[in-house]
């Protein structure tokens, strides 16, 4: 999901650093995650799937905690992003948070580029990204559930190499594997 929006930006400006906080829905943990949220919404506060109650709560770690302080989910984001973008030099700093939302993952992203951009150039790169919509009024999980799109909004820059953006996508319809296949097919189409 994150890579869909950043792919064209990386191609044009090079990504140096990405700091991302993910807000991942309970469906990311499977059907049992949805069942647990629904049970807790109904009053049964038993926590079986998640380490803590998820209803009216956030859990600031997804996956197993590793020796380096990151979780395996966070390290997966680091490794997959570098692999898909074919650039092991990108410094990626993720925090994965489980949220009480049934479907759709959301991400708050800060990125620093190697080469300067203009706000118009950044917007143009995002508009060229496939399956990405640049929007300011359709950027919540309720807006994107059931679609194959990634919504990018709140794009703003500090200067000509650092920017922030928000994105949302239905994790069931637009997952890591689907995005990787889309990007690889497009890369093959463009580069033979």
What structural domains does the chain harbor?
Answer: 2-25+58-191 (3.30.360.10)
Is 60 exceeded by the pLDDT of residue 159? yes
- Can you tell me the mean pLDDT for 5-34? 97
Q: What is the pLDDT of residue 123?
A: 96
How many CA atoms, within 13 angstroms, populate the side-chain half-sphere of residue 73?
A: 17
Residue 19 in tokens: 């700091």
Please name which of 94, 122, 115 lies closest in space to residue 19, comparing C-alpha atoms.
Answer: 94
Q: How many C-beta atoms lie closer than 10 Å to residue 28's C-beta?
A: 21
Please name which of 106, 80, 94, 79 lies closest in space to residue 25, comparing C-alpha atoms.
Answer: 106
Torsion on CA atoms 171, 157, 77, 96, rounded to nearest 10? -70
pTM: 0.90
- Can you tell me the mean pLDDT for 92-97? 99
- Asked if 71 contacts 16 with a C-beta cutoff of 8 angstroms, the reply is no
pLDDT tens, residue by residue, 114-149: 999 999 999 999 999 989 999 999 999 999 999 989
Break the chain down into helix, strand, coil percent, rounded to 5: 35, 25, 40
Q: Which ranges constitute the DSSP H helices of 21-111?
A: 31-41, 72-84
Reduced to 3 states (helix: H, G, I; strand: E, B; else coil), residue 186 is helix
Q: What is the pLDDT of residue 16?
A: 99
Cα–Cα distance, 44 to 16 (Å, whole number):
46
pLDDT tens, residue by residue, 26-45: 999 999 999 999 999 999 99
- Can you tell me the mean pLDDT for 181-192? 77
Is 90 exceeded by the pLDDT of residue 47? no
Is 80 exceeded by the pLDDT of residue 182? no
Burial of 48 per CB tally in 10 Å (0-12, 13-18, 19+): exposed
**Residue-averaged pLDDT of the chain:** 94
pLDDT band at 177 (very low <50, low <70, confident <90, very high): low
pLDDT band at 60 (very low <50, low <70, confident <90, very high): very high
pLDDT band at 179 (very low <50, low <70, confident <90, very high): low
Q: What is the pLDDT of residue 174?
A: 85
- Can you tell me the mean pLDDT for 146-161? 95
Reduced to 3 states (helix: H, G, I; strand: E, B; else coil), residue 116 is coil
């Amino acid at each position: 999901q994150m890579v869909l929006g950043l792919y064209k930006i990386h191609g044009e400006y090079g990504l140096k650093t990405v700091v991302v906080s993910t807000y991942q829905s309970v469906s990311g943990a499977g059907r049992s995650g949805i069942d647990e949220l629904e049970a807790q919404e109904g009053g049964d506060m038993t926590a079986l799937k998640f380490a803590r109650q998820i209803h009216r709560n956030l859990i600031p770690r997804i996956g197993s905690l590793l020796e380096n302080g990151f979780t395996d989910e966070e390290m997966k984001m680091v490794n997959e992003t570098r692999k898909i973008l074919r650039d092991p030099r990108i410094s990626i700093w993720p925090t994965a948070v489980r949220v009480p939302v049934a479907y759709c993952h959301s991400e708050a992203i800060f990125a620093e580029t190697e080469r300067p951009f203009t706000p118009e150039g950044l917007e143009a790169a995002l508009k060229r990204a496939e399956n990405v919509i640049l929007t300011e009024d359709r950027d919540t999980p309720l807006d994107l559930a059931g679609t194959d799109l990634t919504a990018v909004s709140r794009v703003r820059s500090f200067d000509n190499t650092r920017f922030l953006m928000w994105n949302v996508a239905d994790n069931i319809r637009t997952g890591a594997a689907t995005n990787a296949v889309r990007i690889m097919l497009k890369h093959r189409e463009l580069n033979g």
